[in-house]
Amino acid sequence: MSRSVLKDAILGDFSRTEDASPSSLPVTRRLRVRSVVLYAVILLLLTQLFRILGTPHSGSHTILTTAPWHAQESLYKCQALTAEHVSVEDYTSRKHSDRNVPGTKATLIANASIWTGRGGGLEILKGDILLDQGLIKRVGRVDRKLLEDYQELHHVDAEGRWVTPGIVDMHSHLGVHSSPGLQGASDGNSRKGPILPWLRAVDGLNTHDDAYKLSASGGVTTALVLPGSANAIGGQGVVIKLRPPTNRSPTGMLLESPYETNTTKYDRARSFRFRQMKHACGENPNRVYSGTRMDTAWAFREAYEKARQLKQVQDEYCAKAAQGQWAGLGEFPEDLQWEALVDVLRGRVKVHTHCYETVDLDDLVRISNEFKFPIAAFHHAHETYLVPDTLKSAYGKPPAAALFATHARYKREAYRGSEFAPKILAEAGIQVVMKSDHPVLDSRFLLFEAQQAYYYGLPHNLALSAVTTTPASVLGLDHRIGFVRQGFDADVVLWDSHPLALGATPQQVWIDGVPQLSAPRIIKKPAPFQRLPKTPNFDEEAKAALKYEGLPPLEPKASVTCTVVFANASSVFLRDAHSATGIKRVDTAQDAKSALTVVAREGKIVCVDSATSACVRAALHEKGDVEYVNLEGGSISPGLTTFGSPLGLEEIGGEISTKDGYVFDPLLGNIPTAAGGNDALVYAFDGLQFGTRNALVSYRAGVTTGIVAPLSRGFLSGVSTAFSLAAKHKLDDGAIVQETGAVHVAIHPRGAPSVSTQITALRRLLLRPSEGELGLWFDKVRNGEVPLVVEAESADIIATIISLKHEVEREVGGRVRLTITAAREAHILATELREADIGVILTPSRPFPSSWESHRILPGPPLSEKNAVRVLLDHGVTVGLGVHDADKTLNTRFDVAWAALEANETISKEEAIALVSTNVEKLLGVERESGEYELVATLGGDLLEYSKVVGVLSPRRGMVDLL
């Protein structure tokens, strides 16, 4: 072989230019210079090698006369080890995106308020955005002469509305935990061992997940799909765009695939693309592998030691290869199982660590320093706000904290989670990311997480950045996504209101310049919704969260029986049994001069009038103590009632010792004789727990009453009870609102017993007298004395229940009171439900197709004109709203406000309040005497706005709680 041939064989790839493909990315001057230098170095080494080729040496050793056959490949792999990450300049000079869809019309979004993400999230431009070739071509004022070059240009008049970068979800299981959830598409976790860095989420990515379209309709354009958290190292995540791929394949969804093997598209020797990897610590891997935190920490250290050793061997190999010392080297040393973990040590993989508690955070920080690798982010990270200095001591730079806004207390390691964590961490200089953990939270509403973080004190610029620019930066993709910037990917969202305004909904979503909403249902919201909403001050609450290490006192500051004057109220809502909704608006202040004053004594309102009225003046001159509260344009409204979660029967969802537990189910086995046998019926009243943190947090958010049924995993639940969230114990004054309410059952497809078996059991209970407590209560159901509450999702099951109701009523000759809960497909039967006089409690209020029985949801705008709430109300169905999880109860007021906003002002505030108070109680058989209900005082707005609850008036207890 000639010297020139040998040189070409070794250097062939290094001498190739980036112009090999028109789709290739531009190469920076820095990379070109480095490639030339490397070429020269290798050429010099080869020259020295050829000078001595074939020359005998004294002694017993002889120098090789030819370079090994693998030299070219081995040198290429060595060069790839030192490649740098791409730069912004590489991408902003692109003519078209590598993800451009040919034939896509250029789009001009005109007259927009543009939140660019630049300047720390403070830059706002008024102007236009030009999208073409999958890129943002212009931002600001677009030259009209430039537009003349376009034969076809789609014009969108934003009319001053807001445009932001597409939302980036940095923790999702889209496509690996698919929706609807089916056994054949559950690919999130492997249980083959605690250390699995070689697994890849892309290998399980399901392109038929129903949630892609739903999430995109909420403005999500990019998502990091991660393996689950069963393992200490669960495998490699993958970043995807949510646009349907033109080739219908998972590969077509990838953004900057690190697995690309075509070197004309991705040359690892010139620059590298970050990979993403999932780590987890704490309860999950401990539970799956029956281990302890010590076991998990050792698993990490053992794995990283293997990777460190392999990295050292590679580095030594490349040092010799660069000097032409091929003797005895062999091929480049690598191991397919451990190569990804080696890349972690080289800083080429973003490590995303599922970690909650301080002990676990400290473990991973210590391991990162021991093996010298950076951690991109701690996810869930419920205690990071307590130990920001621990994060700052991690190797490299401090990890970001990827958080839920209010989702906490569902297991022990989440118990100290705080809604003020984003604010506290940002003030400590830690990057804050809000994420969904989809489908734990529906990523369609990821923006709601940012809105809540903003409400609880995270600055507006950082709140929006937390779902756009910050996750893009943490992922190592801020050279092309996360900003509205010329040359970046054309991933933008046009919103119907300010993105931090409650209920903000996309009018259109562009991914790679391709519109994702074919026929968006657009709501025209009034001008105030285009402004950044005002929020309360929670500085003192945040300080208390730190002072008490995440468990601050939640009881009222004071509970008083004296006269309390609430001044400067803009509105007052009261319960009224004679009104259509059960709620009436007493009066409305039209301006500051006509503000209302509310006087309460012993927890009861004695007058509502102007500040100069005789009633108010008399109260102010009473003998004794008078508390004065300035509501600053706030409101008085009925306390809210929650149903659907285990609130009142548990403290920590994942800790059975803190729960009432689950009832025996007669369809799954005999109930013990000591408990009454199969004729027994359980009362939730007997298992009530008071003073739980979820109850107290919710009370401070305006939820004053809980209704709960016994917890069941089967058909029969028991009898529900209604209780006060403020009570300290069951014997406290006013603790029990109503001891017994309705009889509860659930009908779902479970395999065994079948749905038809469950229906048969219900029919028998309704038509044939039974013994014991079970017979007693079903007699009451037959006689219409108490409601029967059936939890069901599927329209088919609901239709069967409607038919059964008719059958029973014909048989017994009376009316059966029936309520359907959960009911995500109830809208399909709105007419039939009304005709059968069946009410519905939608749980949750914003539906998600988590299972096959609920896959026919009505999503609401922008995908459908109406939401399920509006459809059912339009047909005359009595509707209530509930929640599934106890920790979500505190957002009840925001849930109902969102539902009303989606209804395009067709649901009044009185109707909205009724959806989570009087309607829920009516449907669940809770009856109150007039005047025996709580009222909530809010500061700076009404209960359905970004206001702050500052007081609760409780006539039952004869006092006012000042919060």
Residues 800-846 have pLDDT tens digits of 999 999 999 999 999 999 999 999 999 999 999 999 999 999 999 99
- d(CA 454, CA 449) in angstroms, rounded, equals 9
Q: Is 642 helix (H, G, I), strand (E, B) or coil?
A: strand
- d(CA 817, CA 804) in angstroms, rounded, equals 12
The pLDDT confidence band at residue 587, using thresholds 50, 70 and 90, is confident
Distances 416 to 335, 363, 694, 839 between C-alpha atoms, Å: 41, 18, 12, 38
The pLDDT confidence band at residue 905, using thresholds 50, 70 and 90, is confident
pLDDT attached to residue 588:
61
DSSP state, residue 489: B
User: Is the separation of the CB atoms in 398 and 404 below 8 Å?
Assistant: no
Position 422 pLDDT exceeds 60: yes
Residues 6 or more apart in contact with residue 150 via CB below 8 angstroms: 106, 132
- d(CA 238, CA 588) in angstroms, rounded, equals 53
pLDDT attached to residue 12:
41
pLDDT attached to residue 715:
97
The dihedral over CA atoms of 320, 325, 330, 333, expressed in degrees to the nearest 10, equals 10
Position 320 pLDDT exceeds 50: yes
pLDDT tens digit sequence for 726-770: 999 999 999 999 999 999 999 999 999 999 999 999 999 999 877
pLDDT attached to residue 145:
87
- d(CA 374, CA 126) in angstroms, rounded, equals 39
- d(CA 544, CA 546) in angstroms, rounded, equals 5
Q: How many CB atoms lie within 10 A of CB 705?
A: 25
Position 775 pLDDT exceeds 90: yes
How many residues are recorded in the chain? 963
Which of 321-330, 467-476, 504-513 is predicted least confidently? Answer: 321-330
Pair of tokens at residue 115: 């939140």
pLDDT attached to residue 37:
47
- Closest C-alpha to 14, from 67, 57, 74, 64: 74
**C-beta contacts of 80-83 below 8 A and 24+ residues apart:** 80/268, 80/269, 80/272, 81/314, 81/315, 81/318, 81/346, 83/268, 83/269, 83/270, 83/271, 83/272
- Closest C-alpha to 600, from 556, 569, 570: 569
pLDDT attached to residue 591:
55
Q: How many CB atoms lie within 10 A of CB 658?
A: 16
DSSP characters for 241-271? Answer: E-SPPTT-SSGGGBSS-TT---TTT--TTTE
Which of 18-22, 322-326, 484-488 is predicted least confidently? Answer: 18-22
The helix (H) or strand (E) run that includes residue 760 is helix 755-767
- The chain-wide mean pLDDT, for the chain, equals 92
Percent of the chain with pLDDT over 90: 84
pLDDT attached to residue 144:
87
pLDDT attached to residue 526:
87
Position 514 pLDDT exceeds 80: yes
pLDDT attached to residue 589:
59
Q: Which residues pair with 949 in a beta bridge?
A: 938
DSSP characters for 812-823? Answer: HSSPPPEEEEE-
The helix (H) or strand (E) run that includes residue 881 is strand 879-881
The pLDDT confidence band at residue 91, using thresholds 50, 70 and 90, is confident
Position 411 pLDDT exceeds 50: yes
Position 623 pLDDT exceeds 90: no
Helices 3-11 and 71-81: crossing angle, nearest 10°? 40
pLDDT tens digit sequence for 12-68: 433 333 333 333 444 444 444 455 445 444 544 544 444 434 334 434 343 443 789
- d(CA 947, CA 249) in angstroms, rounded, equals 46
- Closest C-alpha to 14, from 316, 254, 220, 263: 263
Residue type, 439: P
Per 3-state DSSP, what percentage of the chain is helix, strand, and coil (rounded to 5)? 30, 20, 45
Mean of the pLDDT values across residues 537-545?
Answer: 98
